[in-house]
Amino acid sequence: MTPTLLIYSGFDTPRLRYVLDWICHDQLQTGYRLTGDAVEWRQYSGPKLSYSGEQPEPGALRIKPVALLQEDGIKVQQLNINRWKHSTILFYNQPGAPVPFDLFAAVFYLLSRYEEYLPYQPDRHGRYPASLSVAGQYAFLQQPVVDEWICSLRKLLEQQCGIALPHRQGACRFSYDIDIAWKFLHKGARRTWGGYLRDLLRLQLPALRERKRVLSGQARDPYDCFAWLDSLHRQYKVQPLYFLLLGKGSAYDKNADPELPAMKKLVAGLGAQYDTGIHPSYASHQSEAVLQEEIGTLARNGGQAVSRSRQHYIKFSLPHTYRNLLRAGITDDYSMGYASVNGFRAGTANAFAWYDLEADAVTTLQVHPFAFMDATSKFYARNNTEETFLEFERLYLAVKKTGGTFFSIWHNYILGTDAAFAGWPALYERVLQYTAS
């Protein structure tokens, strides 16, 4: 059994407790105790470190604090960017020390998404732009730096304190966002005839022929790859998550009517086999009542209580969106990433409790970051399938090295038989083979 880590500090705040709980309990998988008694700390024979402005014992492991975890409120922080080992660091303040930066404050800054509470110019969807983040500006967005820092801290504790700490076993999780279940089917008369007219006006004769074949029952809808995905799950022993868009139609919410028999059947079938979650519509961002209605639809048609969520278009703002999710009964959110670029928005691949920075309090909402999304690679980076695989591999290996949980997002319309996405189904099976090996 690992001895309790004794941490000396001149202060004890909710911010500090939040960080220590996550680092010690969840990541290092060890107990800790915080003390302000320097005599007790010096006399302690077990593993210990100092988080204080002065060194109470020469040679002991020390992290020197900046003010962040002692503060109330939100303000622009002096980040003091530097490098440590192979990682970019924040709050560099102790040159030449084994830990030359305030690791605890740096973890808090990234996990809390502190920078997203500061004034910023949102993108056209009202989202926080990756380009404004410290990770985007200092080119470490594709590194799980928080996890790397903690791996380095684990090694230092083992070396200096003569203990063996547990090492996390990595995991790989696949998930799907069902934004558009069918390309041609179950659209209703107005949208169906509008599609015919659009194809005619644009002289899209192949699309017109395909539409006729699908609607006449001569061909499968190109977005309907659900049975194929089922077979892959069985073959590669994958337990995916499905997030379902069940909002009313709009410019950004284009799924079939959730009350159509075919959509009800799809939702019920997925709910019978897999864990599912709500994919709150674009419109729900402005209306808590709409969010509640969509959750109710999924619970009613999916046959399971709704506790998971991932925002459509990865559209969320803090603390507004997460507070709405909590009030709606959501316990686990899977939106922590960027739509525009793959990588680690919070610097970690591991789940963490959301800290409401405005309230300065930890919440019960568990945040599950994702590192890769097919649509990001396809539409934003404009990568081909080989470039996409290489990006997936690079991110996956970075997470595997730190023992994190690699979450990826895929879309049925990209993995189907639509000619616009030729090669992507084969890419997906290649990814499954790679991660299973």
pLDDT tens string 65-89: 999 999 999 999 999 999 999 999 9
From residue 34, give the alpha-carbon distance in Å to each of 22, 51, 261: 14, 10, 57
pLDDT tens string 362-413: 999 999 999 999 999 999 999 999 999 999 999 999 999 999 999 999 999 9
Model pTM? Answer: 0.96
CA distance from start to end of the chain: 32
pLDDT tens string 267-311: 999 999 999 999 999 999 889 999 999 999 999 999 999 999 999
- Residues 6 or more apart from 259 whose CB is under 8 A from it? 297
- Mean pLDDT, residues 169-197: 82
Distance CA(146)–CA(138), nearest Å, equals 15
CA 295-324-244 angle, to 5 degrees, is 30
Confidence at 188, pLDDT banded by 50, 70, 90: low
Q: Would you say residue 127 has pLDDT above 60? A: yes
The architecture (CATH level 2) of 171-183+221-436 comes to: Alpha-Beta Barrel (3.20)
Looking at residue 197, its pLDDT comes to: 62
Looking at residue 217, its pLDDT comes to: 85
Domain with CATH 3.20.20.370 in the chain: 171-183+221-436
Distance CA(277)–CA(333), nearest Å, equals 9
CA 256-257-261 angle, to 5 degrees, is 95
